[in-house]
């Protein structure tokens, strides 16, 4: 017996809403190269890309400055700092700064502070992806509201899949990751 598909069935939250929310974060904060949510660990990893090679001394300076800024920000917010890791990797002409934070104390305001920090520190060398041509730009208030909702949704304890969102040629791609680090499922746009 053949049954008709349930057209009212809704995709699981992590397969539909989470993709949209990660896209909203990347659209609102063009300074972000990628976002990686790891709900099992309760962390989010933000990556910023810089168009220059940072030597070891510059990497140490950036790590210390980010740790100082985030530490002070979280203390002033009155929240406990559960996780903060800052790592740098440099190639010939590019550097990537990865900031891993616990989702419990992470906030949209902290993300705004981090983006302002990287803009001030690296200026034109910070990779900021422009919007695609003809893309409808929402008003800033709507984008802020979507970003706030996105961060709250990433905290949702029912989220079970790791995901990564990043930009490629003015598009945002989101992948759900399997348990193994290098395996990935289908892309959603």
If pLDDT is split at 50, 70 and 90, which confidence band does 169 have? low
Instruction: For residues 116 and 66, give the distance between their C-alpha atoms in angstroms, rounded to a whole number.
Output: 11
Instruction: For residues 42 and 59, give the distance between their C-alpha atoms in angstroms, rounded to a whole number.
Output: 26
pLDDT of 153 above 80: no
If pLDDT is split at 50, 70 and 90, which confidence band does 53 have? very high
Instruction: For residues 87 and 97, give the distance between their C-alpha atoms in angstroms, rounded to a whole number.
Output: 6
Percent of the chain at pLDDT exceeding 90: 42
- Average of per-residue pLDDT values in the chain: 79
More confident residue, 130 or 183: 130
Predicted local distance difference test score (pLDDT) of residue 10: 37
**Sign of the C-alpha dihedral computed for residues 112, 114, 117 and 122 taken in this order:** negative
Instruction: For residues 113 and 140, give the distance between their C-alpha atoms in angstroms, rounded to a whole number.
Output: 16
């Amino acid at each position: 017996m053949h049954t008709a598909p349930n057209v009212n069935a809704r995709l699981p939250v992590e397969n539909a809403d989470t993709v949209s929310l990660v896209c909203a974060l990347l659209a609102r904060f063009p300074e972000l190269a990628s976002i990686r949510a790891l709900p099992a660990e309760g962390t989010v990893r933000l990556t910023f890309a810089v168009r220059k090679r940072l030597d070891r001394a510059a990497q140490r300076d950036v790590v210390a400055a980010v740790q100082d800024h985030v530490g002070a920000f979280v203390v002033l917010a009155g929240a406990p700092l559960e996780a903060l890791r800052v790592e740098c990797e440099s190639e010939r002409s590019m550097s990537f700064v990865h900031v891993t934070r616990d989702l419990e104390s992470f906030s949209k305001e902290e993300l705004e502070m981090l983006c302002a920090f990287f803009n001030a520190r690296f200026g034109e060398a910070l990779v900021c992806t422009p919007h695609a041509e003809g893309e409808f730009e929402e008003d800033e208030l709507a984008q802020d509201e979507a970003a706030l909702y996105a961060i709250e949704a990433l905290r949702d304890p029912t989220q079970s899949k790791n995901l990564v969102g990043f930009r490629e040629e003015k598009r945002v791609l989101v992948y759900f990751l399997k348990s193994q680090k290098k395996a990935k499922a289908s892309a959603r746009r």
